[in-house]
Structure 1
Amino acid sequence: MGMSIRNNPRVYAAAGASIIAAAVATRYVAKWRKRKYMRRGEGIRDLGGGQVFIGLDLTDPYASSSRPCDYAILDTDLNCNFGLWDYNVGGASIIPQPALGRSFILAIDGPQGLAGEPDANVRISEKLVNAPGRTPYFLKLEGKPYQGLIQGSVNLFHKLVTSGSRFRLLGLDGVPVSDTTLIEVYPGGAWKILSKGNLPAKRTVSGRYRRAELLTQLGVKFASSDLPTNDQLDATLAAWVAYKFWIGESSIEGTAPEMDELNSIIREGYIVMPTLSSGEVHNDIEEVAPV
């Protein structure tokens, strides 16, 4: 006999929890939109001239249900626009249309290279920033977490830096900070630097709300009152880290990248993390239950 719904306390409890979760989610989406309307108008934001900062949230190109990568563009006034990029290993169209013809720094959330020693299963930079992904010396696609993302990322970095002089990777062949146009970032660690404590899970409405508020407190100006997705928020943070790198407020973790010509890959490489100026982040965001 099947389970009876009538008078079943477990079913009613589950239904009640779902109703509460939906109500809380609606509340915080409405709160975000109200604050956005009070702060600024709607529509695509015009980017100022000159330097721009592009944050790219890579996805796994080898996944059975692969999806486009989210990107965010910031100008020096921190006006923000979003878009999507269809991964291709050659990097075609990786610089969005609004950024063409401008000076840029591209910040990619993904590893630029493999570990430098044959017995290593993690890069020095990943240890220093406590990244969950572990990039080994020998890359095998099957059987380990993040391996598809890692392979797609290291192949992309290699193609970009060998495609000409447009993409100048920090530290590769002595590329200095002042001449860099390509960096690796780790938004997961950067969120911890920005937040007072642990944030709600990034895929929950409350987690997205908290992250969006942190970014607006830093001066980021979103174009729409719609609450950004978790991938858009990671892309925005990546772009903001590139901005911090440009103004000299960042730390550079790890060892310099080197080209492995035999295997057509980069070895090791820096991860750029933000440093905060006094009073840059406020902690007056309302605490919310994860939804």
Structure 2
Amino acid sequence: MKFVGIDLTSAFSASPRPIDVAVLDDQLNARFLAVAWPKAAAVIDRNPNFLTEMLQKEVPVKSSERMILAIDGPQGLAAVGNSMRACERILGTPGRTPSTLPPAEETGAPFQGYIRSSIDLFAGLAGASPNWQLSGLNGVGNFEAGLWEVFPGAEWGVLAKRRLPLKTTIAGRKARRDLFEALRVKFTTQALPTPDQNDALVGAYLAWCVHNRASSIEFVGVAPEVTNGEFREGFILHAGSPLGVNLSATESAVALSAGALEMPPEVARDWNDDQALLLMLTDYGLVHGTERENAWLIPGRNYTLETTSPHDSLRIQLVHAATFSGGQGWRVYPTTRNILAQLGYPAPQHLKRENAVTLRVVMV
């Protein structure tokens, strides 16, 4: 098998950035490629030839092999009438995919061109090959699926079991290479992968895990369906706790990471801009440090946080609850229900991981 991770950009920018592609084989040997977007008209027509031709040329597969694709981008629209998909709410993606198809252009709306590019690409690829069946669509099972959605921004903390330095820094790139090597990924050179190559490689690795460590992955969200001719909702492939490794932190990496956390909030420049922390809310009483997305919380410390894009700015206080089992709980002010109300989220009767809300926050 070949496992291909794809880090998308917007096809509708004035000068679209190349799409980075990472490829893993069954033995976790890694290689990187890049492909240019075609003219916008081909994207709007949902013609996947620019990508499929490159993959078939650069990633040869034997007649007995399969090629599995994992794309960093939304596969479809939200359910009719919703402002975002369930998987985006749970994993805290900075972009929110609406229920109506965004225009095929850049108008300044956050992530609009990127979201539209991804939806068009998924639609084209799903019809391009019988092997690229979309996960969960019409009952397509995990091993049958050849087309997945991933969100690398939610994976680093789970896989490393700690906060990593910013992905754009040398320390951050080295930490991610160290992480992949701890996960037994093999590189052909000593060069540090770029931030976009790392994001692509996360997708390829999670796709590999579907077939090699199936019990260690999760599928966040609800199964996709077709409504009014468009894919809607869908699963995001997500790392489970067993995939994480205890990656040691160098002093320089810790110092750089800590400094990054103290930066003021700003609008994310990239779908996977990891300046923000993820704060997963799964309980009305406490914030649970045992949730792997919250692994950056340190027992004994209190935190002052502020929500950042795409949420409105809201100040949140976390006070460590030392008496909570294992010392892994924090009381939150304002209350979780109040936070959800102020940020426009519904407040179900019971808040659990299955209907969690993940916020993007920075320390202040």
Aligned-partner residue type, residue 227 of structure 1: L
What is the 5 A alignment of 1:151-162? 151-162=116-127
- 1:259 equivalent in alignment to 2:222: no
1:162: how far off? 2.3
User: Which structure has the highest strand share of the two?
Assistant: 2
Q: 1:126 aligns with which of 70, 75, 88?
A: 88
Task: Tell me the distance in 1 between the aligned counterparts of 2:249 and 2:27.
Answer: 23
Aligned-partner residue type, residue 66 of structure 1: P
Task: Tell me the distance in 1 between the aligned counterparts of 2:6 and 2:220.
Answer: 19
Task: Tell me the distance in 1 between the aligned counterparts of 2:48 and 2:170.
Answer: 32
Q: 1:109 aligns with which of 22, 47, 72?
A: 72
- 1:81 equivalent in alignment to 2:31: yes
Give 2:99's aligned residue.
137
1:54: how far off? 0.5
Give 2:250's aligned residue.
286
Task: Tell me the distance in 2 between the aligned counterparts of 1:164 and 1:194.
Answer: 31
Task: Tell me the distance in 2 between the aligned counterparts of 1:122 and 1:110.
Answer: 14
Query: What secondary structure, in the 3-state scheme, does the structure 1 residue paired with 2:143 have?
Result: helix
Classify 1:195/1:164 alpha carbon distance in 2 versus 1 (closer, same or farther; 3 Å): closer
CA contact (8 A) 2:6 2:20 kept: yes
Task: Tell me the distance in 1 between the aligned counterparts of 2:159 and 2:86.
Answer: 23
Aligned-partner residue type, residue 167 of structure 1: W
1:100: how far off? 3.3
Task: Tell me the distance in 2 between the aligned counterparts of 1:287 and 1:132.
Answer: 29
Residues 145-179 of structure 1 deviation map (CA, whole Å, 9 limit, x = unaligned): 11111000001111111234231000112111121
Task: Tell me the distance in 2 between the aligned counterparts of 1:284 and 1:153.
Answer: 35
Q: State the TM-score, normalized to the length of structure 2.
A: 0.62
Give 1:98's aligned residue.
59
CA contact (8 A) 1:73 1:81 kept: yes
- 1:188 equivalent in alignment to 2:149: no
Residues 44-86 of structure 1 deviation map (CA, whole Å, 9 limit, x = unaligned): xxxxxxx111000001111122121011111111100000122
What is the 5 A alignment of 1:40-55? 51-55=1-5
Task: Tell me the distance in 2 between the aligned counterparts of 1:79 and 1:139.
Answer: 38
- 1:168 equivalent in alignment to 2:133: yes
Task: Tell me the distance in 2 between the aligned counterparts of 1:282 and 1:99.
Answer: 35
Task: Tell me the distance in 1 between the aligned counterparts of 2:209 and 2:119.
Answer: 24
Supply the RMSD in Å over aligned alpha carbons.
Answer: 1.8
Query: What secondary structure, in the 3-state scheme, does the structure 1 residue paired with 2:251 have?
Result: coil
Task: Tell me the distance in 1 between the aligned counterparts of 2:202 and 2:93.
Answer: 16
Task: Tell me the distance in 2 between the aligned counterparts of 1:205 and 1:268.
Answer: 36
Q: State the TM-score, normalized to the length of structure 1.
A: 0.77
Runs of 4+ in 1 over 6 A off after TM superposition: none
Q: 2:143 aligns with which of 135, 158, 178?
A: 178
Larger radius of gyration: 1
Aligned-partner residue type, residue 247 of structure 2: N
Classify 1:240/1:64 alpha carbon distance in 2 versus 1 (closer, same or farther; 3 Å): same
1:144: how far off? 1.9
Task: Tell me the distance in 2 between the aligned counterparts of 1:173 and 1:226.
Answer: 42
Task: Tell me the distance in 2 between the aligned counterparts of 1:59 and 1:100.
Answer: 26
- 1:250 equivalent in alignment to 2:213: no
Aligned-partner residue type, residue 135 of structure 1: T
Give 1:271's aligned residue.
236
| Unmatched segments (≥5 aa) in structure 2 | 258-364
- 1:230 equivalent in alignment to 2:200: no
CA contact (8 A) 2:91 2:154 kept: yes
CA contact (8 A) 1:112 1:269 kept: yes
Task: Tell me the distance in 2 between the aligned counterparts of 1:134 and 1:176.
Answer: 26
Give 2:6's aligned residue.
56
Query: What secondary structure, in the 3-state scheme, does the structure 1 residue paired with 2:154 have?
Result: helix
Query: What secondary structure, in the 3-state scheme, does the structure 2 residue paired with 1:254 have?
Result: strand
1:206: how far off? 1.1
Aligned-partner residue type, residue 91 of structure 1: P
CA contact (8 A) 1:72 1:239 kept: yes
Structure possessing the higher relative contact order (Cα contacts under 8 Å, 6 or more residues apart): 1
Q: 1:201 aligns with which of 142, 166, 184?
A: 166
